[in-house]
Structure 1
Amino acid sequence: MTKLYEVSSWQEFLSLVESEHLRGWAFRGQRDAEWCLESSLSRRLKQFVPAEDWADREDRAIRVFKRKAHYFLNDTTSLKDDFRCLALMQHHGAPTRLLDFTKSPYVASYFALQSCTTPAAVYAVNTPALWHEATPPGLPELTRDAIDPRTSDSLRKFYLSNDYPVVWPGEPWSMDRRIVAQAGTFMLPGKVDVSVEDLLNNYEYDQPLLAKIVLSPEIRQEAMDALYRMNISSATLFPDLDGLARSISYELEVSWVGSSGSHR
């Protein structure tokens, strides 16, 4: 079962994520604590596509992207690798089965709190256990290495088929600037009709693989100020002009007065 924590101060959050218990885990911030841990593809398909057509529509979406994306790329190498192609689609806003995570709890807290007005959440996944010990229910042979989407036809077999109750943590061999800037990683589920939370809670392991940290919106101001001082902002997490533009949202909230009385 998911381990639930509720924190009411920024210091309480720091003490929790810096504890030995969550060391080496991966994190995801969501601005609404009520949201399910599911991919953008899952949400889109559930809203607009009959369940019997999901596999065909996902396959078609990837195929269409591959056929047209080369017009906008100087290097088309990523289009030849299905997993890198999924990461590229995710990067540019296409619905995919990938869930963005980060190895930094601070980055995750930024995404959770930057726009929240109600309780937000940071999810934490025990990636060391998924790497070495935990296996899907009744399928001990499906270790992380066995279902690695970066090898041969594994992505199509274990994921796009939508037949296997697995979750794979990791990144493409070649990472883009955004993944590097965010200390990013992904959770790749084998089923899009089941939440990642349910998939992980059914894994065979003697400890919870998933924790949910609910953040009170009252800690937002203190947290955002602290994260700003840590140089965590949209400008640094999205190292391009779009990121700089996004960062202006927070710049609107604060006024930094220097010793001369001037504002930055």
Structure 2
Amino acid sequence: MDDEPTPADDDEPTADTDADSGDGTDAPETAADDAPPEPTGLTEALDIHRQAGERFDLDTAAAREIAQTVARLGANEAPIKGADLSRLVSSIANDAMKDIAIHANITNLIASVVKANNMQMDELARTFANSALFTTRAIQDSLSVASLYSARQLVSAVGSQKPSTAPRASRMPEHFFDTHAVEIDSLKSLLKALSTLQMKHHEHRLVWRGQQNASWAVHSSLYRRLEESGAVDEDRLVGAEVEALNAASLWGRGVPRPLEFFADLQHNGAPTRLIDVSTDPEIACWFAVEAHPKQDAKDGLVLAWGRAPRVGRRVPEPAADVSADLGDVPFWHSWAEHDLRRRADWGTGTRTWTWFPPALSDRMRAQRAGFLLEAGPILTSAVIDVFNDALPMNWRGSEIARATSIVGLPSRHDVLTKPNAAHLVPVFALRILAKAKKPIRDYLEGKGLRHSSVYPDLGGLVQHLRGPYGPK
């Protein structure tokens, strides 16, 4: 699509850097059922770490500190089977908490107790509703504090590995969409997935996008341009648009309809916040498998966003498309404050801002094309909680924003969506393996989808002649 990254972007790293750093060391087992409980709770803590390391992001060093922290409460309060959580809470609330909370991140301890007692995170959050120490976010984002115990104490307890305070590595953008992505390894699997997705989720009025490289984040060309010089937010996007409008006046061009002006800029290769989409899934698939020597060996990606979230048992009619006839100032520029944007659902993920104008060009008609209006994501702690309750790996707000500026909840293609507390629209993903690109491309070409039909204008011809398959 016109706003896709240039081939140079394929050099972005795609390796998964999130593997646990724990060494999996086994702790000694209790000799007999009637033996006294392990005074340090170490065996239990390490077992908790092995089972729940991914959920709580605890490495082995953190598990050690949990064990030592439990010991500070006394052997009777260790997280042994059947322990009464209220007794532990009472102990923490008294002198023990005063002693430990000063030196250690008590949320790591609470995380282990929750797992040991087979409790849910939200139940714990309600238990400690009045304490800032014990929120779900604090537990999920907590890091081990190595200062509570000396290296010598930890070595004597569990071995020679030094404690680590390093946070986990940042997650890559492609992993966000991979959460519930369907792996497409053949034409047959693609046709089956498309059929299932449309049958299950047609109520969401899907809009589709294809990318040649699954590792690319989903951002507009303007976002990528601004990202070269620093972090991007809504204020920077608006500032760049104001500069473009001012430049237009220097060129003697009036801009009575800013949306059409930005669409014209996009068509001619200038960076804008508009992201190309289509109402036709096969068009999106064509863009995902479009031939290019630097991308043919990369997996492609097809995304489909719902235009409205499920509410109760139904999906309400999505909000009407935006209109170009809204004055000579972009309507979103009037939301100058964060709270105004949030109340307007601008960047919140509760709707997709789509614009499918009357065909502005032969190219848009051929592609059944429209635009998503990108907005600086508004990711509150409550919204992030919804992501982390629904996804198997926890995500920071900054990681979600790096993956996409079109906020949506990754969802399964073969199961009806459910309401969520943040009213996020669903997004579905099909990852097309590199080996499946050519068979799918041949199939689509047989249906008339080729470069000359998808880009039927003079600009498309110029693009072809200048590209890797033009005259040599």
Q: Is the structural similarity TM-score above 0.5?
A: yes
Assess, with a 3 A threshold, how the Cα gap between structure 1 residues 62 and 88 changes in structure 2: closer, same or farther. same
Assess, with a 3 A threshold, how the Cα gap between structure 1 residues 64 and 209 changes in structure 2: closer, same or farther. same
Q: Which residue of 1 aligns with 2:280?
A: 104
Verify the 8 A CA contact 1:103 1:183 in the aligned structure 2.
Answer: yes
Counterpart of 1:190 (choices 355, 371, 375) is: 375
* Gap regions ≥5 residues in structure 2: 1-175, 379-400, 410-419
Partners in 1 of 2:232 and 2:439 — Cα distance? 44
Verify the 8 A CA contact 1:234 1:246 in the aligned structure 2.
Answer: no
Counterpart of 2:260 (choices 77, 80, 84) is: 84
Q: Does 2:271 match 1:95?
A: yes
Tell me the amino acid that sits aligned with residue 105 of structure 1.
Answer: P
Counterpart of 2:215 (choices 27, 34, 38) is: 34
TM-score, length of structure 1 as denominator length:
0.74
Mapping for residues 177-256 of structure 1, pairs under 5 Å? 177-191=362-376, 194=401, 196=404, 199-201=407-409, 204-205=422-423, 209-246=426-463
Q: Which residue of 1 aligns with 2:188?
A: 11
Counterpart of 1:169 (choices 354, 365, 376) is: 354
Identity %: 20
Verify the 8 A CA contact 1:6 1:213 in the aligned structure 2.
Answer: yes
Q: Cα deviations across residues 178-204 of structure 1 (Å, max 9, x unaligned)?
A: 211100011112217945466223984
Verify the 8 A CA contact 2:221 2:272 in the aligned structure 1.
Answer: yes
How far 1:154 sits from its partner (Å)? 2.2
How far 1:173 sits from its partner (Å)? 4.5
Q: Cα deviations across residues 135-185 of structure 1 (Å, max 9, x unaligned)?
A: 9xxxxxxx834x935334523235998943244022235532221110001
Counterpart of 1:148 (choices 322, 327, 352) is: 322
Partners in 1 of 2:206 and 2:347 — Cα distance? 21
Assess, with a 3 A threshold, how the Cα gap between structure 1 residues 63 and 22 changes in structure 2: closer, same or farther. farther
Tell me the amino acid that sits aligned with residue 304 of structure 2.
Answer: A
Tell me the amino acid that sits aligned with residue 369 of structure 2.
Answer: G
Partners in 1 of 2:223 and 2:449 — Cα distance? 29
Relative to total residues, which structure has the larger strand share, 1 or 2? 1
Query: SS at the partner of 2:215?
Result: coil
Assess, with a 3 A threshold, how the Cα gap between structure 1 residues 177 and 8 changes in structure 2: closer, same or farther. same
How far 1:234 sits from its partner (Å)? 1.7
Verify the 8 A CA contact 1:6 1:215 in the aligned structure 2.
Answer: yes
Tell me the amino acid that sits aligned with residue 354 of structure 2.
Answer: P
Partners in 1 of 2:219 and 2:184 — Cα distance? 23
Mapping for residues 51-70 of structure 1, pairs under 5 Å? 54=236, 55-65=238-248, 67-68=250-251, 70=253
Tell me the amino acid that sits aligned with residue 375 of structure 2.
Answer: G
How far 1:65 sits from its partner (Å)? 3.6
Q: Does 2:123 match 1:123?
A: no
* Gap regions ≥5 residues in structure 1: 71-75, 136-142, 253-264
Partners in 2 of 1:105 and 1:43 — Cα distance? 25
How far 1:205 sits from its partner (Å)? 3.3
Q: Which residue of 2 aligns with 1:261?
A: none
Partners in 2 of 1:191 and 1:240 — Cα distance? 33
> Relative to structure 2, which stretch is displaced further, 61-70 or 215-224?
61-70
Verify the 8 A CA contact 1:134 1:205 in the aligned structure 2.
Answer: no
Verify the 8 A CA contact 1:133 1:205 in the aligned structure 2.
Answer: no
How far 1:127 sits from its partner (Å)? 2.7
Query: SS at the partner of 1:118?
Result: coil
Structure number with greater Rg is: 2
Q: Which residue of 2 aligns with 1:138?
A: none
How far 1:213 sits from its partner (Å)? 0.9
How far 1:242 sits from its partner (Å)? 3.3
> Relative to structure 2, which stretch is displaced further, 87-96 or 109-118?
109-118
Partners in 2 of 1:180 and 1:56 — Cα distance? 31
